[in-house]
Amino acid sequence: MRTALITGVNGQDGSYLAEHLLAEGYRVYGLVRRASARSFQRLTHLLEKIALVNGDLLDQTSLITALREVEPDEVYNLAAQSFVPASFRQPVLTGEFNGLGVTRLLDAIRMVNPKIRFYQASSSEMYGNVETSPQDEETKFKPRSPYGVAKLYGHWITVNFRESYDMYAVSGILFNHESPRRGTEFVTRKATLAAARIAAGLQKEVRLGNLDARRDWGFTGDYVRAMRLMLQQPVPKDYVIGTGEAHSVREFVELAFGLLGLDWREHVVVDPSLSRPADVDRLIANPARAREELGWEPTVSFRDLVRMMVDADVELVSRESRRDAEERRMTPVEPLPVVR
């Protein structure tokens, strides 16, 4: 039985990866930051099947301790400040987690056991203002956000440790991947949740930024399969993971609202303040290497992905409405004062 340690296990990608590794017969540990309050909403169904260990990408000593305790065969580094707009507001913190945090973890592995296989979650945002399309492993990087810059540092430091210390360290350059577990601050989930709430009569509009940006969107459950496959190859290599199709934010929104019989134009307000200071217009993957060498293919289409997210949010809104109604029913009504 192989042992895997996942950083960012309580995030979207981490929860799907934990499920996948358990299904593949792994013993799974999740690295979590010590905090007064923790959110394990995405892991509720897994907490009896995985083990949690304390550690922090900002504290290398804690990483060394965790590695010695877990003794993993594989480490998947999915922890990050992952919201691109937030990176403009917190560029230094983003650099600490997404850049230097990777270095701390790689160096900890080098000191504890350099035979551990390491996966780094790189991002299509590293390509930024692209000069050629689609993008593959040889495409020039030109990031357009602090997030993309920090991810590029993490990517290149992974390459550096691989070449300098003969470590099995690889990066998966993942294009946008979504699911019902996506955070509600991200445009895709913001759109599907708003559509569900509008259909239920709970809100009237949603404010979004640049509707013309085009992205290569896939299903997270497909992409975590690629992560594991990358660590099973005889030679460590970096791989681009995506569907090879690009769709605009407008297309995503139109489809999400249309599935519920809504005209998005009646409910979506374009708010320029929600656009990035420096946006990326178009990203689309060329996953040929992954298809040929990993045997990986996406299984969920763009339309099915949007439908999956809309259906999940409709069910979420329905549950919340039932719960709110039950709470109102159970709340005692104070008697009116008697006026004499």
Q: How far apart are CA 254 and CA 277, in angstroms?
A: 25
Of the residues 125, 127, 153, 254, which is catalytic? 125
Of the residues 123, 124, 145, 171, which is catalytic? 123
138 is catalytic: no
147 is catalytic: yes
125 is catalytic: yes
Strand 247-248 to strand 214-215: parallel, antiparallel, or no bridges (unpaired)? antiparallel
Hey, which residues does 208 pair with through a beta bridge? 270
Of the residues 26, 29, 147, 223, which is catalytic? 147
- Asked whether the beta carbons of 105 and 63 are under 8 A apart, the reply is yes
- Cα distances (angstroms) measured from residue 332 to each of 29, 213, 265, 320, 329: 45, 50, 42, 20, 8
* Catalytic machinery residues: 123, 125, 147
